[in-house]
């Protein structure tokens, strides 16, 4: 295996101050989802809980309680289920904590638990690209620790479905490239721009910090949101104007509330909310 071009700690603009030595598989998932999200979480150490992240943590905590040891590749018995297994690849400087590793006939299969649902492909259920990348990192670290590993499984709790993926050469090469890009992004020390009009943003736990549409609008300036026409051009199309989506609920406290209809009334019950 060739040497992996890893960043040099002393030359980094960040001095790798807070970046750990190993890139977690979970962060490769974040990078595949959104490079800016990865940067916030791994380089800047910013994290915000959402209902999804809390649900995921509770489920993983249950898995961790049943932690068991995965025997060395040479000592692998016929059938083993090892839970909460952590292995690393020195070559790629990645580390993966696996929810479950199933061993059968000398072949191991990582099983990753996700609280959501699989993606519906044209003919069958599929993994989300970011889940596939995380699972492939698990396959890579297992192989690099001497295990035979041909495929991985994601178990989606919401639908109770197991979706498999083969660790073929293309997926492994794509994943190694993703790892290289993630290291390079952290090393550059410049936060990547927000995604443009992406359906990923409304479900992102950091949307309130990132403010993707507002950031893009501020960078473009007001005039850039309109199409520039030549002097004698007739406007055949409507000018392009991108709306700033209201992805975050605005703060409503301290705003006046006007009751302008006779019979309306305002009350408050309990200590937290108005009723």
Nearest C-alpha neighbor of 100 from the set 152, 58, 146: 152
Decide if residue 198 touches ligand SF4 (CB under 6 A): yes
Residue 194 binds ligand SF4, judged by CB under 6 A: yes
Q: CA–CA distance from 144 to each of 73, 91, 119, 270 (Å)?
A: 11, 9, 29, 58
The number of residues that bind ligand SF4 (CB under 6 A) is 13
24 scored as a contact of ligand SF4 (CB under 6 A): no
- Which residues neighbour 117 within 8 Å (Cβ) at sequence distance 6 or greater? 156, 158, 159, 161
167: burial class by Cβ within 10 Å (0-12, 13-18, 19+)? buried
Residue in 57, 66, 81, 200 binding ligand SF4, rule: CB under 6 A: 200
Our CB check for ligand SF4 shows the closer of 40 and 167 to be: 40
Helix, strand, or coil (residue 105): coil
Q: Is residue 195 a contact residue for ligand SF4 (CB under 6 A)?
A: yes
Stretch that binds ligand SF4, among 18-26, 60-68, 160-168, 196-204 (CB under 6 A): 196-204
Nearer to ligand SF4, 63 or 248 (CB): 248
Which of 14, 34, 105, 237 is the binder for ligand SF4 (CB under 6 A)?
34
Interface with ligand SF4 includes 201 (CB under 6 A)? yes
- Binding ligand SF4 (rule: CB under 6 A), the pick from 19, 32, 37, 111 is 37
Q: How far is CA 101 from CA 58, 105, 127, 158, 242, in A?
A: 20, 13, 18, 21, 47
Q: Does residue 43 interact with ligand SF4 by CB under 6 A?
A: no
To ligand SF4, the closest distance from the beta carbon of 206 in angstroms equals 5
Output the smallest distance, CB 20 to ligand SF4, in A.
20
CB 194 within 8 A of CB 202: no
Q: For residue 88, state whether it binds ligand SF4 (rule: CB under 6 A).
A: no
| 36 near ligand SF4, rule: CB under 6 A | yes
Instruction: Give just the sign of the alpha carbon dihedral 132, 133, 135, 136.
Output: positive
Nearest partner of 181 among 9, 7, 45, judged by Cα: 7
Give the containing element (helix H, strand E) for 84. Answer: strand 79-89
| Residues of the shown chain interacting with ligand SF4 in the complex, contacts defined by CB under 6 A | 34, 36-37, 194-195, 198, 200-201, 204, 206-207, 210, 212
């Amino acid at each position: 295996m060739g040497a992996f071009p890893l960043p040099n700690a002393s030359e980094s603009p960040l001095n790798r101050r807070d970046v750990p030595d190993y890139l977690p598989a979970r962060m490769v998932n974040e990078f595949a989802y959104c490079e800016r999200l990865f940067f916030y979480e791994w380089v800047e150490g910013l994290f915000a809980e959402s209902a999804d992240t809390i649900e995921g943590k509770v489920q993983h905590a249950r898995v961790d309680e049943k932690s068991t040891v995965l025997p060395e590749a040479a000592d692998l018995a016929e059938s083993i289920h090892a839970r909460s297994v952590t292995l690393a690849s020195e070559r790629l400087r990645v580390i993966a904590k696996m929810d479950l590793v199933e061993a059968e006939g000398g072949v191991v299969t990582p099983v990753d638990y996700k609280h959501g649902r699989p993606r519906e492909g044209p003919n069958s259920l599929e993994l989300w690209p970011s889940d596939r990348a995380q699972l492939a990192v698990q396959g890579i670290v297992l192989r690099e620790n001497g295990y035979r590993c041909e495929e991985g499984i994601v178990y989606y709790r919401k639908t109770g479905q197991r979706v498999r993926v083969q660790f073929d050469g293309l997926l492994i090469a794509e994943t190694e490239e993703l790892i290289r890009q993630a290291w390079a992004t952290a090393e550059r020390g410049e936060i990547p721009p927000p995604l443009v009009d992406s359906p990923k943003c409304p479900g992102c736990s950091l949307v309130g910090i990132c403010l993707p549409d507002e950031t893009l609008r501020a960078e473009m300036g007001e005039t850039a949101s309109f199409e520039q026409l030549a002097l004698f051009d007739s406007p055949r199309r409507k000018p392009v104007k991108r709306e700033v989506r209201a992805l975050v609920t605005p703060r409503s406290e301290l705003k006046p509330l006007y009751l302008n209809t006779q019979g309306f009334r305002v009350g408050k019950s309990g200590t937290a909310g108005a009723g």
